Structure 1
Amino acid sequence: MSVDASIALLAWYAVDKRRLPWRAEPGEVPDPYRIWLSEIMLQQTTVAAVRPYFEKFVTRWPSVEALAAADYGDVMAAWAGLGYYARARNLLACARKVAEAHGGRFPDTEAALRALPGIGRYTAAAIAAIAFGRRAVVVDANVERVVSRLFAVDEPLPAARERLYALADRITPERNAGDFAQAMMDLGSAVCTPRAPECGRCPLASCCTARAAGTQSLYPRKAPKAPKPRRDGVAYWLEHDGHVRLVRRPAKGLLGGMLALPTDAAPAEARWREAGSVDHVFTHFALTMKLLCAEADSRPHEEDAIWWPIASIGDAGLPTLFARLAARGTEWREAA
């Protein structure tokens, strides 16, 4: 890609860039906290899904120091529904590390950023480029698609990732790397889309190898996906006196650190009745979770039990799977 093409891309971005709540407007100084928070939230998640969570977080915790001082349970509850919950655990760990070890200021180099919890190669590059103006190679799924078409990379993903990174490195300018990275991401999101790319609107159309061959829709090539294994499980809705028994899941593992219904074993001797099931798809497997419901004669006093008011179960911050199961539980008690 020529210097002229880079200039054309940046000119397109200046006019057509997305207005996002974490982006600095012209004349504003980028806020590393907002950029970091958005990049963590955007990992494997769409802009549309992230926007309300981002706005909720920055309203409640407007700085990295405020987030570092937050209660663990409050952060996990605020994250509920966004998925990939290890991100939330790392988010709090990273905020505390920045507050304690860096005086509340994010480091401005990729190497130092990668030493923080939850920050890998892509996120470190994005923060370094966008927040601090460093020349960094920022490659997300949108950029992979744009680069694969620009150079007609025939090797399929994920094996092609290092080649796509090297090609992105080749075309990343020494200056304005942050705007360039955001322009490439916006181009992939709005113009160079997975299906029916709008090449007539693309500022890079003249230098796109795939477009010249009329094969742009074939890229990026992807290796066939193996079918996801299916698992079955059981969750338990045990209620007493208008409250339901919840537990906090172990910090490590599936939905780690989140409030949930018990799943390992029945939490009490009771007359358990089935109340349907919920299907949910995780990254590596699909799950069918059956719900068993019962009413307890008394409230056992286990240390790990959290008895939550059923009338406000929506405020518990349950992850999506358990929020759907809780809805089944409330339906069961209304019909009982």
Structure 2
Amino acid sequence: MAKKKYSKEMLIDLYRMMIRIRAFETRAAECFTKGMLAGNIHLCIGQEAVAAGACYALEKEDYMATTHRGHGHTIAKGGKLDKMLAELFGKKTGYCNGKGGSMHIADVEGLHHLGANGIVGAGIPIATGSALASKVLGDKHVTLCFFGDSASNQGTFHEAVNMAAAWKLPVVFLCENNKYGVSTNIHSVTNTDTIAVRAKGYDIPGTTVDGNDPVIVYEAVKEAADFARAGNGPSIVECITYRHQGHYCGDPANYRPAEYMENAHKDDGIPNMRARLLDEKVATEEELVAVEEEVKAEMDAAYEFAVASEYPDPSEATTDVYSSDNERSVAR
């Protein structure tokens, strides 16, 4: 555990959030392999500590933009498992009435969730625009922007970070570095050891941390969020982690060396966090089992809800496509 002393409630909450995310992703994978879901899904199994720690560092009214691998971020921001799974099933009880699916879950008003995005790097300028809105409005909200290691090679990354730095916008750019963009090892297409070191080019803070420890992630994001909220501008936080599956559900990932998954299982944040909670006497075995059973019951109920929910009526196919409540059709 990190050196600072944290409450039992916080530490158990982080563990609960991680197992909630994994339970959801595991069930989603089961449904997908049975042919119950349309389209494809990209799972964050192995990366749960990043989402749990990062979102715990936010205030409720802070904003977030996520990626095609965004289920865990949505859950950690407060997303409900039943509405999320219903969305994956294409049901009208989902967050986007079944029209968004896995890669486009959003809830701007409720969760301040600006949406997942199927385009690599596309959430970065959206998050920067949200931070600009906060600065103009003076609302003191911070926007957390998740992106993958390969997205850092997109032009959107460099343009948005440059603008955020120049205008001192309240945004935290969080890179989930699982070392692979689809099948490409990040070190074969970059000339730096880390992504965070690129912060030097914009004269903003940049740090690389262990993304398998939710407490360490929390500390890094909390520092960056406080820095941004105080009017000092953006930071880059890079979390080194692993994705246990391939790029998409069903990808055998035979492009990765055997030691990748050996290290992934060794550094898996969930069993390691569980062991530390017990070793440091933060929680008893009975308490952790109770948390795990609670999550299982929640996931089972979410599945029943999603299966029982109705599909949207075909007549609604062209509704909810455009926002027209203002001239420019913007969310904020």
The structure with the larger Rg is 1
- Higher RCO (Cα < 8 Å, 6 or more apart): 2
TM-score by length of 2: 0.25
Q: Name the TM-score, length of structure 1 as normaliser.
A: 0.25
